[in-house]
Amino acid sequence: MDNTQTQKVERNLIGLSPVDYKGKPSTLCPGCGHNTIANQIQAALYELGVVPEMVAKFSGIGCSSKSPNYFLDRSFGFNGVHGRMPTLATGACFADRRIKLIGISGDGDSASIGMGHFKHVIRRNIPMLYIIENNGVYGLTKGQFSATSDLGLELRHQGKNYLPPLDLCLEALISGAKFVARAFAGDVKQMRELFKAAFIHDGIAVIDVISPCVTFNNQDNALQSYTWGREHESPIQDITFIPKAQEIIVEDFEEGTYREIKLHDGSTLLLKKIDKDYDPTSKTAALDLLTESYEKRYLTTGLFYIEKAEQSIFDIFDLGKEPLNRLPAERIRPDQAALERINAALE
Amino acid sequence: MTYPEKEELIDLPPKVNDFCMTVCTVNGSGSATSNNVLYHALFHMGIPTSGKNIFPSNIKGLPTWFVIRVSEKGYLGRVPYDDILVAMNPETFLDDLTYLPEGGVIFYADHIRLPENPRSDLIFYPMPIRRLVKEAEVPRNLREYMENMAYVGIVGQVLGINMESILYALKRHFGNKATALETNLKMVQTGYDWAAENIIKRDRYSVKQLPPMKDCILTDGNNAAALGSLFGGVEFCAWYPITPASSLVESMIEHNPKLRKDPVTGKNTCVILQVEDELAAAGCAIGAGWAGLRAMTATSGPGLSLMTENVGLAYFTETPIVIWDVQRVGPSTGLPTRTAQGDLTFVYFLGHGDINHIILMPGSVNECFEFGWKALDLAEHYQTPIFVLSDLDLGMNQWITTKFEYPDRPIDRGKILWEEDLERFSGQWGRYKDIDGDGIPYRTVMGNQNPAAAYFTRGTGHNEYGNYSEDPVNWAKMIRRIKKKLMNMCEVLPAPILHTKPNAKIGIIGWGSTDPTLIEAQDMLEQAGVPVDYLRIRALPTCKTVCDFIGAHDHTYVLELNRDGQLCSILKLEVSECAEKLSSITDIGGLPMTALWATEQVLAKEMERNG
């Protein structure tokens, strides 16, 4: 008798095992923060009990953009050209609105070449989890400055960076994002909880994940290094995501120190406040916090802002619930009488 | 005031249903409405007519010309002169006069000052436009627009355009807006009545009612392209505004709610999304095409330049999309409101590396409709970008065309595998596997719930299963298969149209909007003793018919609206055995080609060739 069959396999709510969420073996550098992110996406979706076929992955160009290959092999994926990932996702989302999209981008992809698309996909509120794997450096081209590189950063072939970094959480907020968070790849528990909440969020959810590049940008004094991150990370909340199927157990939280946020599907986000009185439903509070930590060079992590959208992009276009890409020909080609009316009007 | 009109002008033979009239105005003055009313009224009288708007890249205040050609013989190309001028713009008046032949006619607003010694071989009709506008009691804010409606009445009366036809045209334009219709009609009638009482007709030009043109409609190529796409089942269109392509998508926006509600749910079945730039327009269309929507975008040269990298992605990932290029004059911003056929070689090889594309080239408004739905079928069947090259002349000008014909075949979605289809492949399916030997692989799309359906699409090197590969043998195999797939299309693309003449030994080849001009030139050449056969190419790559045509003639001239003879260059590459039998005749400057010019060019080249 085969031993493996008798071993107890871990299963989630829908009866899948963690293996069902795996991707191809990573070809990124060992220790790369991006691998941790891929692992936590798998873990988050496993824990949520998401059907892998109900997810589609998108990416652009760069180390970050290779990583969708390393998780969710059973999901469709599209690795396009540099900076244009949000456009592929925008077009694709209308094909089958049941599918939840995950976009993986990098700081080069989103903060430089694709900044316009980053802001406009937020403006359109395309339902996707938008993760920036932010390492503050161009890795795949072997170590150039990016638009999120810290001021004064020194790189081997580049010299010193004299330009200030962009903060993608600030950019997301002022573009109208209704879910904005930052995580640190070295803090897996917080990252996973944020991924879960972001995945459930109805609309675009932007998470800037500081993901140290172990090869080109991991000097101890670099903003996006493990050392700097561990020493300067300042979480604003301790986050616990509770799926709607589970009951909320609040004994762990001292009365008055947690805040409960209901997501649209009935699941709950519990935020245990570390920073006194931080209110993630206030946009001005988020802007203040981000501006302050930017100025003080602190790596603030956590959920900065969450708000429910009035209407989805599908409501705006008055689309049906059925997947558009499955509509039969007779429902997408007007009949002959319609053409006769057109011809008559042009006579 | 008296005019130095020569008396013998009155003896010139009459010209009925055969003249060219240009209305000279400034843009933003509402003249487009007036000109379209004149033009539609002529169409309503059954007279073959073409209307071309020669306009500036500007909102208000610069000169604009609307050219109406009336031709009982049905010649609809541009002519290089005017018989009749309607002068409303003092700025261009003197220059406009130079285009008139002897016996030419000028209707001019009488607040324009005449030159001191006006030509004595012309007939001048002053029009008291401002007085008539006052008399018609037009509200002050509408006076400028109504000035243009006044000339419609005057010119219409003198040329013999039926009031009934003018009324028809006005109704067509204003639809249900009763007040607007009434105000405009009153102005036209005031002008008409004034002319009847005050103008003594001394010129040779007039129109005569003909039997209605059977099965003909009047519209522009962009509207036709929009309708063709909607009847082709387009489900997604992303775009960014650009002249002269904007009106294509705007027509889609106009017709979409009426045509594309799901008959079952009443919900929309076509998403039209204006995005941040043309990179996004292409990217969104590719994302949609990849996910199983019939997807398109429409743009012009500068936009296409921005789309280039994404087009390469679509080509190599074998993603179906349709791209309409309504050409304008380049390079750079160029002449945004003038016409050209200058994007052909650019589009044919658009993208870096080993790439080539399929191009459809509509030559009439009707073909814009037909290629609108066909392009979507071809894109999905062959899983590749399909380009449709229209131009400003075809896209934005009004043309008489045959009625749109309902697609003669069902929608072709190509080789898409859904959940149950995949079972047949019992695990052997690969996204880029050439199972049928025709170079076209099978594809699955997002949303397919079969655990074997998903694959990872990438613009990087990939093997038959879509997995990353840098293997040299695999790369060569992939790139050659894609080429084979496209070359298999040559004989299924729209075939060339052949017009023959008895005893023709030489040929002419053209494409796109020059068709009416070349039809007329063919007749002119025959009258000049040089009969030619005319072949209009409607798609690239080249098919066998084109090779045979070139082979069968002593010599063939390729006429087109670009500097270097782009189609001619492509034909020399693709029909290389006949390269020495091809010569190029090209016209640049931003205006449509004229038959007179084309004829002179061919005759001159023929004399040269024959020593």
Residue given tokens 């004034």 in the structure block = B194
Q: Please report the pLDDT score of residue B556 as a whole number.
A: 98
- Check: CB of residue A299 under 8 Å from CB of residue A236: no
Question: Chain B within 8 Å of A326 (Cβ-Cβ)?
Answer: yes
Question: Chain B within 8 Å of A336 (Cβ-Cβ)?
Answer: yes
The neighbour count for residue B428, using CB atoms within 10 Å, is: 9
CB contact under 8 A, B280 and A116: yes
The mean-pLDDT minimum among A159-163, B343-347, B605-609 falls in: A159-163
Split into its structural domains, chain A has a count of: 1
* Cα of B413 to nearest chain A Cα, Å: 9
Name the strand (E) or helix (H) holding B198. Answer: helix B178-198
- Best probe of the A interface among B213, B456, B463, B467, by most A CBs < 10 A, is B456
Asked whether residue A253 is domain-assigned, the answer is: no
Domain carrying residue A178: 9-237+273-331
Question: Chain B within 8 Å of A116 (Cβ-Cβ)?
Answer: yes
Taking CA A31 as the corner, what is the angle to CA A26 and CA A35, rounded to the nearest 5 degrees? 40
CB contact under 8 A, A87 and B279: yes
Among candidates B281, B274, B385, B445, which has minimal Cα distance to A87? Answer: B281
Residue given tokens 């081209």 in the structure block = A141
CATH number of the structural domain spanning residue A44: 3.40.50.970
- Best probe of the B interface among A331, A335, A336, A341, by most B CBs < 10 A, is A331
Question: Chain B within 8 Å of A298 (Cβ-Cβ)?
Answer: no
Taking CA B61 as the corner, what is the angle to CA B58 and CA B65, rounded to the nearest 5 degrees? 80
Dist CA A175 CA A121 (whole Å): 9
Dist CA B488 CA A52 (whole Å): 37
Q: Which of B269, B309, B453 sits opposite A324 (nearest CB)?
A: B269
Which residues of chain B does A73 touch, with a Cβ-Cβ cutoff of 8 Å? Answer: 454
Name the strand (E) or helix (H) holding A58. Answer: strand A55-59
- Local confidence band at B140 (pLDDT 50, 70, 90 cut-offs): confident
Asked whether residue A23 is domain-assigned, the answer is: yes
In A8-37, the residues whose Cβ lies within 8 Å of chain B are: 24
Dist CA B344 CA B586 (whole Å): 13
CB contact under 8 A, B447 and A95: yes
Which residues of chain A does B449 touch, with a Cβ-Cβ cutoff of 8 Å? Answer: 51, 53
Q: Which of B230, B232, B445 sits opposite A95 (nearest CB)?
A: B445
Question: Chain B within 8 Å of A320 (Cβ-Cβ)?
Answer: yes
Q: Please report the pLDDT score of residue A257 as a whole number.
A: 66
User: Residue B95: which residues within 8 A CB-CB, separation 6 or more?
Assistant: none
Most confident range (mean pLDDT) of A212-221, B224-233, B424-433 is B224-233
CB contact under 8 A, A79 and B460: yes
Question: Chain B within 8 Å of A53 (Cβ-Cβ)?
Answer: yes
**Mean per-residue pLDDT pooled into runs of 10, chain A (347 residues):** 60 95 92 93 96 97 92 97 98 98 95 97 97 89 88 86 95 97 92 96 96 83 82 85 68 60 80 78 95 88 92 96 97 98 95
- Best probe of the A interface among B267, B306, B469, by most A CBs < 10 A, is B267
Residue given tokens 């500007």 in the structure block = B58
Average pLDDT of B361-390? Answer: 98
| pLDDT cut 90: percent of chain B above it | 88
CATH among 3.40.710.10, 3.40.50.11540, 3.40.50.920, 3.30.420.40 for B497-609: 3.40.50.920
Dist CA A51 CA B425 (whole Å): 23
Question: Chain B within 8 Å of A73 (Cβ-Cβ)?
Answer: yes
Do B219-402 and B497-609 share a fold?
Answer: yes
CB contact under 8 A, A80 and B286: yes
- Name the residue of chain A whose CA is nearest to B41's CA: A347
The neighbour count for residue B330, using CB atoms within 10 Å, is: 19
Q: Please report the pLDDT score of residue A1 as a whole number.
A: 44
Q: How would CATH label the architecture of B219-402?
A: 3-Layer(aba) Sandwich (3.40)
Question: Chain B within 8 Å of A94 (Cβ-Cβ)?
Answer: yes
Residue given tokens 């708007």 in the structure block = B53
- Check: CB of residue A88 under 8 Å from CB of residue A57: no
- Local confidence band at B531 (pLDDT 50, 70, 90 cut-offs): very high
Question: Chain B within 8 Å of A315 (Cβ-Cβ)?
Answer: no
Distances in Å between the Cα of B56 and the Cα atoms of B26, B65, B325, B342 are 9, 9, 20, 19
CB contact under 8 A, A330 and B263: yes
> Count of alpha carbons within 13 Å of B59, Cβ hemisphere only?
0
Q: Please report the pLDDT score of residue B313 as a whole number.
A: 98
Per-domain residue ranges for chain B? 7-206, 219-402, 415-493, 497-609
Over the stretch B460-487, which tens digit does the pLDDT of each residue have? 999 999 999 999 999 999 999 999 999 9
Dist CA A207 CA A231 (whole Å): 21
3-state secondary structure of A207: strand
Beta pairing, strands B216-220 & B398-402 = antiparallel
The neighbour count for residue A2, using CB atoms within 10 Å, is: 6
Asked whether residue A307 is domain-assigned, the answer is: yes
Q: Please report the pLDDT score of residue A7 as a whole number.
A: 64
Question: Chain B within 8 Å of A91 (Cβ-Cβ)?
Answer: yes
Q: Domain spanning B7-206 has what CATH number?
A: 3.40.920.10
Q: Please report the pLDDT score of residue B3 as a whole number.
A: 64
Please tell me what DSSP assigns to residue A326.
G
What are the phi and psi torsion angles at A320 (to 5°)?
A: -75, 170
